[in-house]
Amino acid sequence: MRASTGYTEYHPRWLRHRKSTYWWLERLSYLAFILRELSSVFVVWTVGFLLLLVHAVSQGDNSYRQFLSWSTSTPVLLLNLTSLSFVVFHAVTWFRLAPRAMVVHVRGRRLPGAWLAASNYLLWALATASVAWLLLGD
């Protein structure tokens, strides 16, 4: 149904009850849903933060040190701590939902959801270790 639906004599008004703008405060599961959706804001902030890091590194050692010093300021640190909690919430909910969204068959049998979830968490651990090794293997 399109928002621009025209109402005519033969097409009466749809029966729709107006939802409160604050419908997501009615239940904990609704709040969790909207918080998960809001993680998008922190994903975008983190991309910006990482691009500032790339820019600082490309400008030289001094710029890189200035970036590191800026990242210790209280507002940036608090923003990054908040972003981290939202990003981890995104990761956990994403991996928990994956077995429901993906149906994988092996030799004609459906792979149990717990296996898919476990493989996702294993992949997460491997990706984490690889990034840490790449960045800290100085």
Task: Catalog residues that contact another protein under the rule CB under 8 A.
Answer: 3, 19, 21, 24, 34, 37-41, 43-44, 46-51, 53-55, 57-58, 60-61, 64-65, 68, 71-72, 76-77, 80-81, 83-84, 87-88, 90-91, 94-95, 123-124, 127-128, 131-132, 134-136, 138
Find the shortest distance in angstroms from Cβ 1 to another protein: 11
Q: Which is nearer to another protein, 17 or 107 (CB)?
A: 17
Q: Distance between CA 69 and CA 45 in Å, rounded?
A: 18
Intra-chain end-to-end CA distance of the chain, in Å:
57
Burial readout 89-102 (b: 16 or more C-beta within 10 A, e: otherwise): bbeeeebeeebeee
Q: Distance between CA 131 and CA 84 in Å, rounded?
A: 16
Q: Which is nearer to another protein, 85 or 112 (CB)?
A: 85
Q: Which is nearer to another protein, 10 or 133 (CB)?
A: 133
